[in-house]
Amino acid sequence: MEDGVFRRTVMNAWSAGRARDICIVLVLALTATPAFAAEMTADAINAAEVSKKSLSNDKPTPAGVRLQVLLDRAHFSPGEIDGRFGENARKALRAYAEARQLPGSDSPTEEVWKALRTDGRPATLTYTITEQDVAGPFLNKLPAKMEDMKDIPKLGFTSPREALAEKFHMSERLLAALNPGQRFDRAGDTIVVVDTASAGEEAQAKADRVEVDKVRQTVKLFDKSNALIGFYPATVGSTEKPSPSGTLKVTEISKNPFYRYNPAYRFKGVKSRKPFTIKPGPNNPVGTVWINLSADGYGIHGTPSPDKISKAESHGCVRLTNWDAERVAARVAKGTPVAFTDDRYPTAAR
């Protein structure tokens, strides 16, 4: 039950003197609250053992969070960390097994879980909110239409909660569940977050080539030895502007890019027949980074909606979460080849 509906229903029942109705409303509200909220604690996450039984696609679990954190640290991204063992987490798990030459499946095998656990750091940490975290400026609301964004001076976050969730690669709901009652708007407060900091060589390895799988909606990075060193779920192309085929090259990398709309694309939902520019910010249509490719109008970029990666169409480009786009940008360079494939049997790492 939404908070506003809940409050109005309780107040109406109270005004009418209907105590029984209030009790019913409270029961409904409690049962409608995500089941994970009561059990989702730092201790539960850090103690969780990953198995087929401890993971769920239907609801977040502590084991799901721990698995996603360990995959994220290894640069085999599950996308937004929300505790669910959904398709993006499954794809990351399969890619991790492929890279380690371990038996792969849709569920974590004992061998894969053992390899992931070599990173023995806790999956969570305590973080102190800084003045910068709450300084803003924050948008009251992100406009739904592109045309309405062009006059906004910065496409920033809508709240400190959104900013902190993205900083730690988390969903806002998971952040709230780990910190019940926290408003996230006061510097000096301590909160629980997941620890996605990479360790060792994973953060330093450079990509010799990039592979974009248009069928599986993924981006893979390979080094000079053809080893798979990075995996990221993606949204690739759309019916109105399909992604390219063949091999392109990285021509430029722009951080905090402007977005320039070309009316020739005639994107669905955009009525303007004149070009316009949207200013930078994490909620800009292309997010916090643009990796330009050698075909006009195509690139690899971030997104204002990390929860929709691999679940919604892009405008022909390759869309990643902002943090994954930033990671890819740090590991490629001008001239890096980017191959677009639609094979049923993708290239395997050696």
pLDDT tens by residue, 96-131: 999 999 987 788 999 999 999 999 999 999 999 999
Say whether both 43 and 138 belong to one domain: yes
pLDDT band at 37 (very low <50, low <70, confident <90, very high): very low
* List 75, 169, 315, 317, catalytic entry: 317
Instruction: Indicate whether 319 belongs to any domain.
Output: yes
pLDDT band at 314 (very low <50, low <70, confident <90, very high): low
Give the contacts of 211 (CB within 8 A, at least 6 positions apart): 219, 220, 221, 222, 338, 339, 341, 346, 347
Say whether both 26 and 51 belong to one domain: no
| Angle ∠(333,338,341) on CA atoms, nearest 5 | 165
Say whether both 29 and 40 belong to one domain: no
pLDDT computed for residue 203 by the predictor: 59
What are the pLDDT digits (tens) for 219-245?
999 999 999 999 999 999 766 667 889
Instruction: Indicate whether 116 belongs to any domain.
Output: yes
CATH of the domain at 232: 2.40.440.10
pLDDT band at 8 (very low <50, low <70, confident <90, very high): very low
Say whether both 21 and 45 belong to one domain: no
Last residue within a domain, chosen from 135, 170, 199: 199
Residue 199 or 72, more confident? 72
pLDDT computed for residue 146 by the predictor: 80
Instruction: Indicate whether 348 belongs to any domain.
Output: no
Say whether both 16 and 46 belong to one domain: no
pLDDT band at 4 (very low <50, low <70, confident <90, very high): very low
Average pLDDT, the chain: 87
Spatial contact of 243 and 236, defined as CB atoms under 8 Å apart: yes
Instruction: Indicate whether 346 belongs to any domain.
Output: no
pLDDT computed for residue 34 by the predictor: 46
* List 75, 169, 301, 315, catalytic entry: 301
For residue 35, pLDDT beyond 60? no
Instruction: Indicate whether 349 belongs to any domain.
Output: no
Say whether both 55 and 146 belong to one domain: yes
**Does 23 qualify as catalytic in the annotation?**
no
Instruction: Indicate whether 285 belongs to any domain.
Output: yes
Say whether both 50 and 176 belong to one domain: yes
Last residue within a domain, chosen from 199, 224, 256: 199
For residue 285, pLDDT beyond 70? yes
pLDDT computed for residue 144 by the predictor: 85
Domain of 28?
3-33
Instruction: Indicate whether 347 belongs to any domain.
Output: no
pLDDT computed for residue 250 by the predictor: 99
Last residue within a domain, chosen from 147, 180, 199: 199
